[in-house]
Each structure stands twice: as structure tokens, then as C-alpha cells.
Amino acid sequence: MSPSRHYLSLFEFTGSLAVWHTTLDGDDEPSGTILDVDDVDDVLESAYEWWPLSIVGADPELDLGAALRAAADPLKESAAAENLGELLLPEGLVDRVDLATSSRRPQLVVNPSPSLASLPWEILTLPGDGRRLVEVFDVRMAVPATVVGAFRPPGREYYSEAVFVVDPVTRLGRVLPTESVSAWERRIGTAPWFPQEFVDREMLKAHLLTQQPRRLTFFGHCLPAAEDASAAGIMLSDHAAVPGATRSVSGGRPLAAHDLLAESAGNGDAGMWSLPPNVGLVACGSGLDQAFPEPLGLVAAVMERGADVVMASRWTLPSDQTTGGATTALGLAVDEALASSDPISHLNEWKRQQLRAWVDAPSLGTSPVLWASIAAYSMPSAS
């Protein structure tokens, strides 16, 4: 039996925020409410006291030490989750879900307004219930409207299971400390990967075309967009002289969403990019398409180029050196979810396990600042 599916959509207009809840089967009447944007801003401000790096364009002079201490504070986190849930989640949401009628957990698809795109929806507390959203639903984000109808060729063939790009050589320096590399090696085994090696856009594009893998996992640097979603890009080993759609950074050229969508990416002539059905982008702010009026960022770009399921980060991630290896554990969990037969359910179940660990033993390593950073997207045909 297919799981019941619920939709939560939020729209901003003329100083107000509309919250709209519907179900897939249409048996229930849609419900909605109108909120004052000033009230929303007040709650967001208090929530960002828990994890200020979730703000799009966060202050680069932010006291990182203070931010990390707040991230490990369960009282700040629970207050943020309760305040956000009380304001943004419809009353009676759980009342419309009959868990006894299906062997599968119901799904909730969230379509946020731009100012709410970086919220960790899974950990919001249901008003009058006390449970977090992820304890009731398998939560995923709505696919950017620009790619809902993206073409998929029938009968795709795959020649390998996975390709990994883990901490490639870039002008921004390493992501992984030496002690974390072995954890990736144990996970990857003999699969094709680029462990802390030189890999530019043309090498990766050619490798994906020849290998035709089922999934791609990237773990490294991302340059989030400031004004145009398509300027967001992952950092590979390309130097600044390589043509690209976005500005160079520290002598390197990011592989931007716009580059992925171009007919011939970078400086080669091999044609369009071809991405595998499952893609993980474990990198700071890689999943912020919906923070922009035109959500054509990295998530939309990889879906336009073939991905059915994408997992990406809503905000800046703390480093492995800071979290004692928990950031690598996050990347490995994303890859495990992508390798499963049901990536969305697998990721949500992992988040439920992490929530229990956070409640039992709160610390930076178990904080939702890590595990709630990952947003999951799935094309309707893959859900």
C-alpha cells in the first residue's frame, strides 16, 4: 500500500505568509492560515540564535565558537523547534494522519517560501502534540518547479554503482583531516572515486558519461549563491582560467549550477552533463535553491541533468576537526541512503535515530545542526 502524502506549502505576499496544507488523495478539505510576516521574522530571529549559520548570507564575522556552543545546547534547540512549529505547522496536522491504515509512514512534502528555505523542517515540534515532524512523517522538500517535468530517457543503463568525489584538491584547502579519510575508504571499497585528488569538471563529466553510475556522492566545498541561485557551485580542481558562469574564488573556478545546465560545460566539447539518478551534495549551502525567487540552483541543475533524488545541505556545516568526525559520518549516512532501495525513507529513519541520540546525549556531534542540515528532494516519478 502506498503511503499517504501530505503537502505543506508556504507563500509570501504583501507582508503576509500563507500556510496551506493539502493531501494527495483529496479526501480531506484543504486547510490554511494567514500569518503576519513580522511575527514570522520574530520567531526566525529567535530560532537563528540556536544556529545562526543557517541564515542565507550569514555574517562572515560571526563568532563561530559561540555558534557551535549554541548548536550543542538542547534547550536552545528545543525552544527553536517549538516556536517554529507553533507558528508554521497547521493545527490538527497529525489528526489527519491515520498511521494504522498503512504499513508505510506517511510522507510530508514541504514547499517553503524563500525566507524559510533553510529551516530544518524535520525537527519542528508539532503544536499540541510534542513530537517532531520526522517522528510522524517521512519529510522531503518539494522539487523546484523549474524541473518538475524534466525529461527522463526510458531504459537507462548503468555500468557501475557509484562515483565518489571526496575532498578534491581545490584552492580553498582540505575539508577532511587525515584520520577521516580511512572512514571513507572503508565505505567506498573498490568503487571509482577521487580521494583528495585533482579532479576538474571535464574529468568528472567524462567519468560520469563512461561509468554511468547509479549514484554520485560529493563531499567538499560549495560556494552558495548570493543573489542568483544558478551561481551556486561546488569546488573542484579547476583553476580560474577555466571558463565558467560564476566568479573565480581564491584562484579556482566553481562548477556552478549554470555550468551544469549549459549545452557544453566548462571548456570542453563533450556536450551536456549526464547525472546519475541519485546524487548527494554534502557541502555548505548546496541545497538552497528555494531561497531564491527563481530556484534554479544546484538541486534543480542536477535534476535537470538526470537526477531523480538529490540530498543537499541547507546551511554551512562545521568541519570534521570541530565535530570529532561527525561531519564525515553525515556524508557516509547520505551515501548509504542514496544506495538504498528507498532513499527518502532511509534518510528519514536515520534522522529519527539521530534525534534519539540527541535527546539521550546532547553534544555537537549529535546535534541537529549536522543531521538536520540535509534536505531530500525527489522527482514525483521516483517517490
Q: Which residues contact 178 (CB under 8 A, 6 or more apart)?
A: none
> How many CB atoms are closer than 10 A to CB 290?
27
Q: Which of 34, 313, 10, 326 is nearest to 176 (CA)?
A: 326
Give the model confidence (pLDDT) of 302-329 as tens digits. Answer: 999 999 999 999 988 888 988 899 999 9
Q: What DSSP assignment string belongs to 125-144?
A: BPTTT--BHHHH-EEEEPPP
Per residue of the chain (383 residues), give pLDDT as tens.
567 888 999 888 878 888 888 876 555 667 778 888 888 888 888 788 887 655 444 555 556 677 788 888 999 999 999 999 999 998 878 876 765 556 678 999 999 999 899 899 999 999 989 999 999 999 999 998 878 777 776 778 888 899 999 999 998 888 888 888 889 988 887 666 766 789 999 999 999 998 899 999 999 999 888 888 999 999 999 999 999 888 888 999 999 999 998 854 444 444 689 999 999 999 999 999 998 988 999 999 999 999 999 999 998 888 898 889 999 999 999 999 999 999 999 999 999 999 999 999 999 999 999 999 999 999 977 66
Question: In the numeric block, which cell numbers belong to residue 87?
Answer: 507558528
- Report how far residue 364's alpha carbon sits from residue 73's, in angstroms, rounded to the nearest whole number: 8
Between the alpha carbon of residue 165 and those of residues 220, 264, 306, 330, the distances in Å are 8, 21, 18, 15
Give the model confidence (pLDDT) of 128-159 as tens digits. Answer: 899 999 999 999 999 988 787 777 767 788 88
Give the model confidence (pLDDT) of 72-87 as tens digits. Answer: 899 999 999 999 999 9
- Report how far residue 289's alpha carbon sits from residue 232's, in angstroms, rounded to the nearest whole number: 9
Question: In the numeric block, which cell numbers belong to residue 108?
Answer: 510530508
Contacts of 210-213 with CB under 8 Å at 24 or more apart are: 210/159, 211/159, 211/160, 211/163, 212/156, 212/157, 212/158, 212/159, 212/160, 212/274, 212/276, 213/158, 213/159, 213/160, 213/161, 213/162, 213/163, 213/276
Q: Which of 323, 333, 373 is nearest to 353 (CA)?
A: 333
Sign of CA dihedral 270, 283, 286, 334: positive
Per-residue pLDDT, 272:
82
Residues making up the chain, counted from first to last: 383
- Report how far residue 158's alpha carbon sits from residue 162's, in angstroms, rounded to the nearest whole number: 10
Answer whether 258's CB lies under 8 Å from 192's CB.
Answer: no
The percentage of the chain sitting over the pLDDT mark of 90, rounded to a whole number, equals 50
Say how many Å lie between the first and final Cα of the chain, rounded: 13
Partners of 8 in the β-ladder: 21, 110
Whole-model pTM: value is 0.92
Q: Which of 317, 318, 262, 257 is nearest to 289 (CA)?
A: 257
Answer whether 284's CB lies under 8 Å from 221's CB.
Answer: yes
